[in-house]
Structure 1
Amino acid sequence: MSTENGPAVGAEPRGHRIVPGPKGLPFLGNMPQFARNPLGFFERLRGHGDLVQWRFGPNPCVFVADPECIGELLTETERSFDQPALGIAFRTVMGNGVVVARGTEWRRKRSLVQPSVRPKQVRSYAATMAGSTVELADSWSGEEIGKEFAGIGALLPDWVPTPGRARIRKAAAVIDAEVGRVVARHRDGGAERPDLLSRLLTAVDETGAHLTDEEIRDETVTLYIGGHETTSSTLVWAWYLLSRNAGARAALHEELDRVLGGREPEFDDYARLAYTQSVVKETLRLYPTIWLVTGVAKEGARIGGVPLPEGTRVWSSQWATHRDERWFPEPEEFRPERWDAETGHPIAEYAWFPFGGGPRVCLGTRFAMVEAVLILAVLARRFELEVDPGTVGPVPTLTLQPDRQVLATVRARRAD
């Protein structure tokens, strides 16, 4: 049997079946519904079932909400699913870095970039993470601090000019100039330094070749966005949630006082700061920086035991799955204790996947977790941030961002 929304559907021995989603428009499909509110649209699709048909423009799509099937999508990337061709906005900013590259080129770039973010290297960056945060914190006092993807542009050829694309090109030119300046400064420094960019500049593949200047630019921007913008957004959401939950804030302060005893955190403290980690994990559950993953079915691809026509685009959303009450009781509640290994609720594999998974899992996963935990520890040990009590909503752009400037009153913690 088939439906107007896409490929044939049918039940399989595992019990999964693809069900029709909301009715779409000719040519546009469900794009208008998606464009108005992507996060809400994915939540509505989840309400239809675990495997749901819909259309992004004329393209047949399947939305996946079951963690087992999400795991298949993530772990079968490169074998059963291709990385989709990302839009011009994404490619203009990211270039052809490891996140965008595919096939042999992706494997080469991954082999060059991965060593710079392995656990041993992350340990060496930890002192810089904490030290830079301490330097910032020392300057604080009581004060206030502070859609091409979803629209019709996603269906337009690259050569069609739009105001949004012009703004993206202008922003990319600023990024290129700044990256060029930083790279030139590192190259002029002579001897290798123990930082991430220096390791990229000296990395060689199996043929002895270095990354080209263009590749250095692309990987630097990829790591900057992955290691800075994502962490800063996560910490904004963390303070927003903590300021609304006095119990969680008190538990965080108790752990920091007990583990650190008045000193600044170091890398070895990361494993000891279990509740601080839970705060970050719970923040990433409610406000995942990366809010969707996609793949394009190759010939012979299956999901949940159901065969998919070649070219079907498969989508899954961290936002929707992370807020599914089947996997997270009281899903809208900020409850860091749910991550406690002894007392927390069991969490299904791939019910929480803020960094993706499988062969294309975010290379900087450990880097990002260590960075977020150490920065939160440095600041929360010294300060309480009371975020403006107004509601802050999420805006799904390249990453999940607050819908307005988030202001906070900074108060020094009083010693007991």
Structure 2
Amino acid sequence: MASETTVHGRDLVTPGPRRLPGLGNLPAFAHDPLGFFERLRVSGDLVEWRLGPQRALFVSRPEHIGELLTGIETVFRHPELGWALKLVLGDGVVTSEGAAWRRKRALVQPAVRPRQARSYAATMTECAAQLAAAWQPGRIVDVRREMLALTQRIAVRTLFGTDSTGREDVIGSAMDVAQRAIGDEFRGLTLFLPSWVPTPGRRRLRRAVEVIDAEVARVTHERRRATGDRDDLLSRLLAARDDDGKPLSDREVRDEAVTLYIGGHETTGTTLTWAWYLLSRNPGARARLDGELRTVLAGRTPEFDDLRRLPFTEQVVKETLRLYPPVWLMTGVAKEGSTIGGLPLPAGTVVWSSQWSAHRDPRWFPDPGAFRPERWDPAVGPAAPDHAWFPFGGGARACLGARFAMVEAVLVLATLAQHVHVDTGPDEVAPRTGLTLQPGSPVRGRLLPAVDHGTAASG
């Protein structure tokens, strides 16, 4: 791949940072993948690098990102996602490809259509209101643990039609182990080891997956024994039939259930954690959020139809997703004849993009490191180009639960923020890469009455 190839007459393929023999840029990537991607973005719109022996191209311009996202399954092959992720998710809709992926997506998609979010909105706000009532002013809480426990309850009730009270620590600990193992593999620490090598991390992951499987099997067993018509996701998975009338096998139900179970609480819980962190550090945004909630809700619990009347609350969530996108990495493998921006790519080239670095590009987001929810107000200025913001991916493989996640995040934040302010203090929290982009250290917050936070919140 020539380093002086011109794309559209202006974009150049830039040679990446210095490579080590055999390792390429693996050490720098493994040490700090987020910083590494930001350095690649600053270097150019199309940057060559190597992950070990793999030829790689990093893309930063929105139109190139769009080509990657919309080209998966056609121009680009879905990449191998690694042993750890496969062990956790199995052969579900995220990890499968080709005909198997098309079949599973067709079976799963009807269960998570955007309109389904309306029927689950009451459960979301009911669970959030219960937490708000239990929170005592003056307490110091582990914000991420509280948010994950909340979104897990919502996920299990809406997706599986049951509850998980008392099981949050069990599944949460297992998910933390899985997060770390997947993060290590993404950073290349175990990516090139054969799957049969029994590293300590892999042994821990196997035990964690056993816990996850047991929890999903428990709620699945309960659901199978339940009588009467139910409208939860598991019922829809069990009832789904493909074009030949064939249902999902028990293993396929497990894989899709685990995929949606994890996606249904891990990403939203982490997003809410970052939202509290950002609101605590930006009292002006918090005050504006308070004003909207007082005007629109006047103390009552929000409903689905309130979403359109809470634009700033939604802007807070979107800006949180910009700064701390749960999914921080997208890849595709070039097929024969693949191109990006008119540039021919050798087959096997791994094309990378990163929500983390793209969302912080000053060309599309002025003052990119600042938390400015109002940047999403159409009246403020021109919108960023398509695919400059893509927290849920894009194209045919975009997140099936994107609408569900947005509805949940907005309604839960609105419900809780009416009653409490979470002051996370002045200390900065760095993100850690794993299955999702999560806080690298505990986020502890003091619970304050919402009306009193203005004098106590950190600036």
Q: CA RMSD in A?
A: 1.4
**What's 2:275 paired with?**
238
Pairwise mapping of residues 389-408 of structure 1 onto structure 2 (< 5 A)?
389-408=426-445
Partners of 2:376 and 2:432 in 1: CA distance: 26
**What's 1:207 paired with?**
244
Indicate if the aligned counterparts of 1:14 and 1:304 stay in contact, CA closer than 8 A. no
Indicate if the aligned counterparts of 2:281 and 2:425 stay in contact, CA closer than 8 A. no
Partners of 2:72 and 2:288 in 1: CA distance: 40
Q: 1:281 aligned to 2:277? A: no
Q: Which of 168, 172, 176 is residue 205 of structure 2 equivalent to? A: 168
Give SS of 1:153's match. coil
The structural deviation recorded for 1:116 is 1.1
> Once the two structures are superposed, what CA deviation does each residue of 1:263-297 show, in whole Å capped at 9, x if it has no partner?
10111111211100000000000000000100000
Q: 1:362 aligned to 2:358? A: no
Indicate if the aligned counterparts of 2:45 and 2:59 stay in contact, CA closer than 8 A. yes
Indicate if the aligned counterparts of 1:17 and 1:306 stay in contact, CA closer than 8 A. no
More helix by share: 2
**What's 2:161 paired with?**
none
Pairwise mapping of residues 56-75 of structure 1 onto structure 2 (< 5 A)?
56-75=51-70
Indicate if the aligned counterparts of 1:14 and 1:305 stay in contact, CA closer than 8 A. no
The structural deviation recorded for 1:204 is 1.4
Deviates more, 1:33-42 or 1:76-85: 76-85
Give SS of 1:254's match. helix
Partners of 1:53 and 1:269 in 2: CA distance: 47
**What's 1:121 paired with?**
116
Amino acid at match of 2:420: F
**What's 2:446 paired with?**
409
Name the count of aligned residue pairs: 411
Pairwise mapping of residues 219-368 of structure 1 onto structure 2 (< 5 A)?
219-368=256-405
Partners of 1:120 and 1:149 in 2: CA distance: 34
Deviates more, 1:338-347 or 1:61-70: 338-347
Partners of 1:29 and 1:391 in 2: CA distance: 32
* Structure 2 length-normalised TM: 0.87
> Once the two structures are superposed, what CA deviation does each residue of 1:211-245 show, in whole Å capped at 9, x if it has no partner?
11111111111112211000010001000000011
**What's 2:85 paired with?**
90
The structural deviation recorded for 1:49 is 0.3
* Structure 1 length-normalised TM: 0.96
Superposition misfits of 4+ residues, deviation over 4 angstroms: none
Give SS of 1:17's match. strand
Partners of 1:151 and 1:74 in 2: CA distance: 23
Partners of 2:367 and 2:332 in 1: CA distance: 30
Sequence identity, in percent?
Answer: 58
Q: Which runs of 5+ in 1 are unaligned?
A: 4-8
Pairwise mapping of residues 33-44 of structure 1 onto structure 2 (< 5 A)?
33-44=28-39
Amino acid at match of 1:144: I
Give SS of 1:258's match. helix
The structural deviation recorded for 1:345 is 4.1
The structural deviation recorded for 1:389 is 2.1
Partners of 1:379 and 1:20 in 2: CA distance: 48
Q: Which runs of 5+ in 2 are unaligned?
A: 143-183, 455-459
The structural deviation recorded for 1:346 is 2.2
Partners of 2:306 and 2:404 in 1: CA distance: 15
